[in-house]
């Protein structure tokens, strides 16, 4: 019975709370030398940590700089190798400008020489197609002058002199002479009309037409001529602009 009473009295007694803000006086009785030694050891520890940190940072800086130098050397070696390869390739192309200059000279020379080029094979076909059924050729002579010494086109018959034939077309370039055989004079006339219709040929003329004396073969032998104009030029060797 006494125990509960005691617990009740303790519960009903005054409550004591601890006050943390109350100052508590303390006195350090350690000698000053010990305190100085402790401070010195702390300073030593801090200095040791600073030295270690400095060494770590220095090692990291050295590693980074060495890595950067290695990368720079690798890049330099690669660039030098590429430069050497490009220089070797450049030497292999050293003759290209000279070759291009020679090619340009050859093309210019060909253009000059072939200034008055005419595709005669086409005219042979055109003449054969234009001939009437009763007309046969004995010879065909096509003549166009070459270029002048200075590289320009040769003077045309119409502009060669003031005494040139006034009936020649102004763009006359050369001449074509055709000799052949026909059975009748109307066929020869038809041949002359057909000759004027061929492109690049203009102003045809009949030089002569003579009937043969052989009674078995009274064929007419004729000789005709026509002017070749600059329309007949092929221009296949002209150099394209640009």
Report whether pLDDT(8) > 70. Answer: no
Report whether pLDDT(187) > 70. Answer: yes
What percent of the chain clears pLDDT 90, i.e. is strictly above it?
A: 5
Q: Which of these ranges, 1-5, 127-131, 141-145, 165-169, has the smallest mean pLDDT? A: 1-5
> pLDDT for 15-72, tens place per residue?
555 555 556 666 666 677 777 777 888 888 888 888 889 989 988 888 898 888 888 8
Give me the pLDDT at residue 242, please. Answer: 56
> pLDDT for 95-132, tens place per residue?
888 888 888 888 888 888 888 888 888 888 888 888 88
The domain segmentation of the chain, as residue ranges, is 29-94, 120-232
Give me the pLDDT at residue 25, please. Answer: 64
Sign of the CA dihedral with 176 first, then 181, 184, and 187 last:
negative
Domain spanning 120-232: CATH superfamily:
Ribosomal protein S6/Translation elongation factor EF1B (3.30.70.60)
Q: Which pTM was predicted? A: 0.51
């Amino acid at each position: 019975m006494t125990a509960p009473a005691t617990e009740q009295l303790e519960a009903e007694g005054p409550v004591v709370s601890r006050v943390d803000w109350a100052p508590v006086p303390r006195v350090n009785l350690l000698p000053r030398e010990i305190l100085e030694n402790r401070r010195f050891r702390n300073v030593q520890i801090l200095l040791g940590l600073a030295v270690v940190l400095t060494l770590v940072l220095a090692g990291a800086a050295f590693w980074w700089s060495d890595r950067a130098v290695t990368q720079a050397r690798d890049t330099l070696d690669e660039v030098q190798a590429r430069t050497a390869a490009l220089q070797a390739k450049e030497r292999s192309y050293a003759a290209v400008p000279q070759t291009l200059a020679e090619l340009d000279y050859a093309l210019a020379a060909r253009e000059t020489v072939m200034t008055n080029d005419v595709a005669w094979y086409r005219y042979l076909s055109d003449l054969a197609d234009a001939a009437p059924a009763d007309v046969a050729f004995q010879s065909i002579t096509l003549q166009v002058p070459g270029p002048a010494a200075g590289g320009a086109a040769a003077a045309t018959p119409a502009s060669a002199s003031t005494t040139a034939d006034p009936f020649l077309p102004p763009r006359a370039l050369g001449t074509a002479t055709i000799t052949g055989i026909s059975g009748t004079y109307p066929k020869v006339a038809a041949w002359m009309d057909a000759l004027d219709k061929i492109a690049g040929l203009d102003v045809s003329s009949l030089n002569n037409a003579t009937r043969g004396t052989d009674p078995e073969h009274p064929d007419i032998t004729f000789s005709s001529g026509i002017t070749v104009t600059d329309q007949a030029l092929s221009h296949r060797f002209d150099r394209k602009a640009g």
